[in-house]
Amino acid sequence: MIRSVRGTLTAIGADGAVVEVGGVGLLVHVSTQTQGGLPPIGVVVALQTHLIVREDALELFGFATAAERELFVACVGVSGVGPKSAIAICGLADPATLRRTIQSGDVASLQRAAGVGKRTAERLVVELRDRLGSTDTDGAGAVSAITVSGPLHDAHAALAALGFASDEISWALADIDTGADTGELVRTALTRLRRA
């Protein structure tokens, strides 16, 4: 899993930002929140990232903060929410505000994201309301991290990105060695799903 990239920002477009790392230009899809904070072209930028693996593509999503990345991963883990919808959700507001929006059940605000209808917004609220960390801030104004992370959650997100339903994924990941890394979890789950 590619967790971060650091390189020269060479372009910003509708489909994301291009970051040159070691002579290779990586297209990194970013939310409008992150895009608004990018430096000028030609300046070195560092982004937190999450790689989505599909049969026909590898897509890299970038975030200004780890909190935004974790919120994205949490959204992708919700049944029916793909990476494009998740990045649109992340663009609605800063991570702390979005957590409050979800925890308060504000479905109307979530529907402002491209590709998010009423049912999807309701599912986001139901599935994430209790999974998100505290929205309290400390004296420095930092927001506590979201509590969803680790290989099991990453495996769930990867399988969701491949198009499997949440209940199928939960079944396929049940009783797998919790010490396994993300790759092992995904391979084992895919084997179970193919046999089903």
Domain that holds residue 113: 66-128
Residue 89 lies in a domain: yes
Q: What is the residue whose two structure tokens read 């998100």?
A: 132
User: Are 46 and 79 part of one and the same domain?
Assistant: no
Helix (H, G, I), strand (E, B) or coil at 173: helix
Q: Is the pLDDT of residue 115 over 50?
A: yes
| Mean pLDDT of all residues in 120-149 | 59
**Judgement on whether residues 82 and 122 belong to the same structural domain of the protein:** yes
| Position 139 in a domain | no
Residues 94 and 108 in one domain: yes
pLDDT in tens, 41-67: 999 999 999 998 888 888 999 999 989
Question: Lowest-confidence range among 20-34, 94-108, 155-169?
Answer: 155-169
E strand or H helix at 7: strand 4-13
Q: Across the chain, what does the average pLDDT equal?
A: 82
What does the pLDDT read at residue 138? 36
What does the pLDDT look like over 91-114, one tens digit per residue? 999 999 999 999 899 999 999 999
For helices 151-161 and 182-195, the axis angle rounded to 10 degrees is 50
- Residues 59, 89, single domain; the answer is no
How many domains in the chain? Answer: 3
Contacts of 129 (CB under 8 A, 6+ apart): 102, 103, 105
CATH number of the domain at 56, please: 2.40.50.140
Q: Residue 72's pLDDT band (boundaries 50, 70, 90)?
A: very high
- In a shared domain, residues 86 and 43: no
Asked which of 28, 43, 63 is the last residue of a domain, the reply is: 63
Does residue 145 form part of some domain?
no
Rounded Cα distance, 186 and 152, in Å: 9
Task: Name the domain boundary from 29, 46, 63.
Answer: 63
Task: Give the percent of the chain with pLDDT over 70.
Answer: 86
The answer to whether 129 and 108 are in contact (CB under 8 A) is: no
Q: Does 136 reside within a domain?
A: no
In Å, how far are 13, 103, 137, 157 from 82, measured between CA atoms? Answer: 21, 20, 29, 10
